[in-house]
Amino acid sequence: MKVLKLAAAIAALATPTFAGGPTLVEADPMPEAMAAPVAAYDWSGFYAGLSYGRTTNSEIVDTTIGPVYQLSKGSVSGLHLGYLAQRSRFVFGGELSYMKYDDVIMAGLAGYHMDRTLDLKGRLGFAAN
């Protein structure tokens, strides 16, 4: 009799679990892959800049044959254009610079007068940000 009462009690307690019918359990959603972290800075792109400077005749190198390098007083202005590309942590690119010299003369080099320069440079670096 005890077994019958115990079975009846268990059946009575389990009845509310079936009141709404069997519950279908959905499968867990597939976890999404985390996006790669975005770099704090991206050095890719075009850039441009201007520069201006003044020269003085305070830089003189004296040798036994006389002054070898002396700049007269004058001004230097320039324009810089470039492009950089970043691939993972490596940064590379190039720059073109145009410089114009006003009244800049190199003493010690007979007849040498600089009017303008055009400079093409390559750049290679490592982004550590």
Please answer whether residues 62 and 70 qualify as being in contact, where contact means their C-beta atoms are separated by less than 8 angstroms.
Answer: no
Q: Nearest-CA neighbor of 68 among 109, 111, 114?
A: 109
On average, the pLDDT of the chain sits at 79
* DSSP 8-state symbol, 18: G
**pLDDT (mean) for 82-107:** 89
pLDDT value at residue 19: 57
- Which of the four pLDDT bands, split at 50, 70 and 90, describes residue 21? low
- Of 47-51, 105-109, 113-117, the range with the highest mean pLDDT is 47-51
Q: Which segment, 3-12, 31-40, 88-97, 105-114, is predicted with the most confidence on average?
A: 88-97
Task: Among 7-21, 29-43, 51-65, 100-114, name the one with the lowest average pLDDT.
Answer: 7-21
Instruction: Return left, alpha or beta for 37; rule: phi > 0 is left, psi -120 to 50 is alpha, else beta.
Output: beta
pLDDT tens-digit series, residues 36-90:
776 578 889 999 999 999 877 666 666 666 656 666 678 889 999 999 999 988 9
Instruction: Please answer whether residues 101 and 59 qualify as being in contact, where contact means their C-beta atoms are separated by less than 8 angstroms.
Output: no
